[in-house]
Amino acid sequence: MIIVCDLLCKAMSHEKVNSGFIYGLSLAFPNETIKLYADATHIEAIKSILVHDEIVVESFEFRPIILSKYMPFANILIQYFLLFRVFAELIKLDVNKVFFLSFSPEILYVIKKLKCIRRFSQLKFTFVLHGGFETIADDISTYPSIKLPRTEIPSNIKFSVFEKIARTKLKNLPIKVYRKVILGITKISWLKREPSFFTVKKVMEWNHSSDYRYIALSPHILRNAGKYIDLNQFDFYSVFLPTNFVKPLDAPVNTYAKFATFGYGDSLVLHNVAYLLEQKKITRPYEIRVIGMDNRGAEGFVNVTTTSKGEVLARKDMERHALDIDAFLILYDKKKYRLSCSGSILESLSMMKPVIHFDNDCINQFNSAKSPIGFCCYSLDEYIDKLADIIENYASYQVEFVKFRENILKLRARCAIEESASEIRKSFTWE
């Protein structure tokens, strides 16, 4: 039996990558039952995305666990007893390995403390590295950010406290007040302060042994990590962020350029892109579509359209809105995703969309000079000029877009989950 656990994610958070890992584990261990321990809302999201992606995982079981957010010290205590119960169940099942889809320093600390107990001493763990791994870098301030002319997103709508109360349904008022009070308490500095020990790097190094393994979601992560952590000390593995790709789509047929951000994006950078494009004397129509729930900064721009009213979009709706898009805009600068992998680039491969992006270690891993899948820009001015040129000379770019799509097909084959199955197997096999 393969035990998979996530103590952080609820609902649709990480549902794409987590479903990818579950499918990858089923390929790596085809004769094993996979049992997922996670919040009930996340289990439903995983089941839903697997159905949507038409992925069938044989012998898939679920064990709902209740996740709550408390103060840092309370979290440690709660997670200790939660994991104690989970590990006790594993011992009864005669299982001694756990695959963690995500973790925090507190969770890793609790796991290492529990492993000191004799009955749990033989347990072994594989952890997937996500954004928290970025904190091992101590020189982030030295990496230049994009120079933005507008450093804040203007807000056109502001409500007073009384207006907010008046706009709230009576039945929802108590829970909103409760959340406001709890949020206020958690902002008190001495209550939210965590001991300096609880950093990803320090907890990884503490009591490390060969029973702990880690998976990076792109090769560039390990290339960069060697500057901050002793790679020889740990058992690191690398797989491309597992993504169940949709079937290759036909190229869109448009009369003018259509761009989109897909997923979280970066609302401030998007606002600046839209603002600067408006300053250009562009003669042809174009569209920038926000495919996601974050519409901040999109108001007031004639050429920016939104697909959500601030709510989470269903996966099928996101993919539907992407059908006629020519290229995805990826707006992360050099500081971001140096030690983690953005799902945006995998979504572009899945949707068969060329990318227009800033110089960024993560995106550069996929958009190579030998087999380009889009355009890399090294400044905001260059980015705006490239978009403007595509808009004005849309027809002349079609040959390049065809080549990008051909390269995307080749890259999809290399990044397919099936190609990562052997590395996933190695990361979770102890001789």
pLDDT given for residue 194 in this prediction: 47
Counts of helices then strands in the chain (DSSP H, E): 16, 13
Q: Three-state SS for 268?
A: helix
Task: Name every residue whose Cβ is closer than 8 Å to that of residue 141 and which is 6 or more positions away in sequence.
Answer: none
Confidence of residue 65 (pLDDT cuts 50, 70, 90): very high
Report the alpha-carbon distance of residue 85 to residue 417 in Å, rounded.
Answer: 32
pLDDT digits (tens, 9 = 90+) for 306-324: 999 888 899 999 999 999 9
Report the alpha-carbon distance of residue 273 to residue 21 in Å, rounded.
Answer: 35
pLDDT given for residue 412 in this prediction: 97
Tokens of 78: 């709660």
pLDDT given for residue 311 in this prediction: 87
Q: Looking at residues 74-88, what average pLDDT do you find?
A: 91
Confidence of residue 15 (pLDDT cuts 50, 70, 90): very high
Q: What percent of the chain has pLDDT over 70?
A: 89
Report the alpha-carbon distance of residue 374 to residue 376 in Å, rounded.
Answer: 7
CB 44 within 8 A of CB 132: no
pLDDT given for residue 168 in this prediction: 62
Confidence of residue 75 (pLDDT cuts 50, 70, 90): confident
Q: Which of 135-139, 193-197, 376-380 has the lowest mean pLDDT?
A: 193-197
Domains and CATH numbers, the chain: 2-136+196-241 (3.40.50), 161-192 (no CATH), 257-415 (3.40.50.2000)
pLDDT digits (tens, 9 = 90+) for 239-287: 999 999 999 989 999 999 999 999 988 999 999 999 999 999 899 999 9
Q: Looking at residues 47-76, what average pLDDT do you find?
A: 85
Higher pLDDT, 391 or 183: 391
pLDDT above 70: residue 384: yes
